[in-house]
Structure formats: C-alpha cells, structure tokens
Amino acid sequence: MVSAGTQWCAGDVMASVKILKRQLSPPLLLLGDFNAHGELCGSEEPRPSGRVVEDFIAGNDLSILNTGSQTYLHPASGSFTVIDLSLCSPSAHIDFTWEVDTDQHGSDHFPIFISNHKVIFTDGSKSDSAVAFSATADNLRIQIRLSDSASIFSAELLDIYQVLTLLECLANDQQQFLIATNSLSSLQALGNFNIKHPYVFKILEKCTLLHKKGIDLVISWCPSHVGVMGNERADLLAKEALSFTTYFGIWKSEKQK
C-alpha cells in the first residue's frame, strides 16, 4: 500500500515505490493514494506529477485496474479526482474486477472494491402488471420479462439459473465467478436444498456441473439500494425489462399458484 502526502516530490516517491516493487514477486497487486493526476489514470486536469507516475507504470511493466471512476472528493473545492491507483502485473489484469463504491462512508476517498472473482449482479423486479429479471457484469447484460403470473421468487431463481447456464457455455476451466443476488429467500432455499421449487434443483445441479468443469463459483447476498453500483445497474435493467413485449416461458406449475 502506498500513500503520498500533500507535499511530496513525485520522483522521490516513485523511486521508493520502485524499490518496493523489486521486493515483490509477480504477479503483484500495488495499491495506493499516489496523489498524482494523470491523463492515463482518468484525471480531467493532468499535472506534471501525474506524468511521473505514468512513466513509472510504463517503465515497470504494470497495468492499471482503474476504469476512470473518480476516487476522491476534495472537501474544500467539491471537485472529483482520480488519485487512488490500483496497479497489477499485466498477466493478472484479467483476473481482477475493479469498482468504486458510491458511498464515501465518512471519508473523502471512495472505497474501492477489487475481487479476483468476476462479479455478476442479478436482480428481479415485479410491478402490478409485469415480472422481469436482469443480470449485469463487464460486457454482459441479460434482461428477460417473464409471464405476468410469475412470482418474484421464481424470477430471482430463474435469473441465477440463466447466469449459470451462460457460464456453462462460455466459461473456461479455472475461472472464478461470484453471483451477487439481493434475494435472501433464494439463498435460503438453495442453502436448505429446498428442491420443491424446480429451479432450486436446477441451480444446484448446474453448480455441480460447473464445479466438475473446474470453475470456482460463489453465490452471495448483496444488499440492495445501498450504493453498490453493480446492484444498482441490475435493478435499473430489471425495471426496464418490465416494459418488454417479448416473454420468456416459466415452469408450468407457476401458473397454478
């Protein structure tokens, strides 16, 4: 972890970081408040100190995990900047997902989430006249409207099942995925092996198949409406799908409930 104070010499700090890097064996992950503003890192107002940091990154064979999201809110000016950098070995770049929380939690820096599991967010939505679900991740978007008679519970389960089906077709061995759902009832049904619902059984069966393929899979709860960007995107996509005119068939006994 690197932290640079307000008064600092970019060259001296980066020289120290270079010494630190030499002590680390690749693949490595290097995080820090570099207090520099570089165009490559997403800063809107680049400074000379930013160029020093960018030269260090280029000269030391490092990759930037930052995606351009602002990481710092200046208390006095109210301006947003990118001074917190997440660097890694190029070979490890594809293994990490990088995301900034929208809630500062009392700090002037925004929390940064780095995971070596590719995170896929799922969410279901139900109105007075429609039911739908969605899933979202980098380069992935699923939006499906169900029969109006479907329950939100079935929508959440079918959402997870659709993601697992996609992973079965596209994922390679040794890949790691985390499915983040805000449906506690779905997780409880899966944890209790409540196979009375057909999709609980289908999900458990699909998880077993993916495990045999060497795919590391975690299904976890994510609280809704607390500023988690992936969850917020899934929520918006699911609500958008409520207006779709194309329907997806659900298991027959659903209509009998």
Q: What is the pLDDT of residue 41?
A: 64
Q: Which residues sit opposite 115 in a β-bridge?
A: 97
Q: What is the pLDDT of residue 125?
A: 95
Q: What is the pLDDT of residue 190?
A: 94
- Does residue 90 sit in helix, strand or coil? helix
Q: What is the pLDDT of residue 253?
A: 34
Q: What is the CA angle 21-25-26, rounded to 5?
A: 95
The domains of the chain, with CATH numbers, are: 2-112 (3.60.10.10), 118-256 (3.30.420.10)
Rounded CA separation 88/93 (Å) = 6
Pairing, β 176-181 against β 216-221: parallel
Count the neighbouring beta carbons within 10 Å of the beta carbon of residue 68: 10
Q: What is the pLDDT of residue 250?
A: 42
Rounded CA separation 91/70 (Å) = 25
List Cβ neighbours of 253 (8 Å cut-off, separation of 6 or more). Answer: 198
Pairing, β 63-64 against β 80-81: unpaired
Rounded CA separation 250/214 (Å) = 30
User: Closest Cα partner for 140 from 210, 233, 224?
Assistant: 233
- Percent of the chain past pLDDT 90, that is, above it, reads 32
Q: Which two tokens stand for residue 137?
A: 């991740």
Rounded CA separation 29/71 (Å) = 18
Handedness of CA 194, 198, 199, 205 (dihedral sign): positive
Tell me the per-residue pLDDT of 46-92, one tens digit each, with 9 for 90 and over. Answer: 677 788 888 888 888 888 888 878 888 888 888 888 888 899 888 77
Give the length of the chain: 257
Parts of the chain with a pLDDT under 50: 5-7, 249-257
HSE at residue 75, side-chain half, CA atoms within 13 A, is 5
Helix then strand then coil, in percent of the chain rounded to 5, is 35, 25, 40
Tell me the per-residue pLDDT of 226-242, one tens digit each, with 9 for 90 and over. Answer: 777 888 999 999 999 99
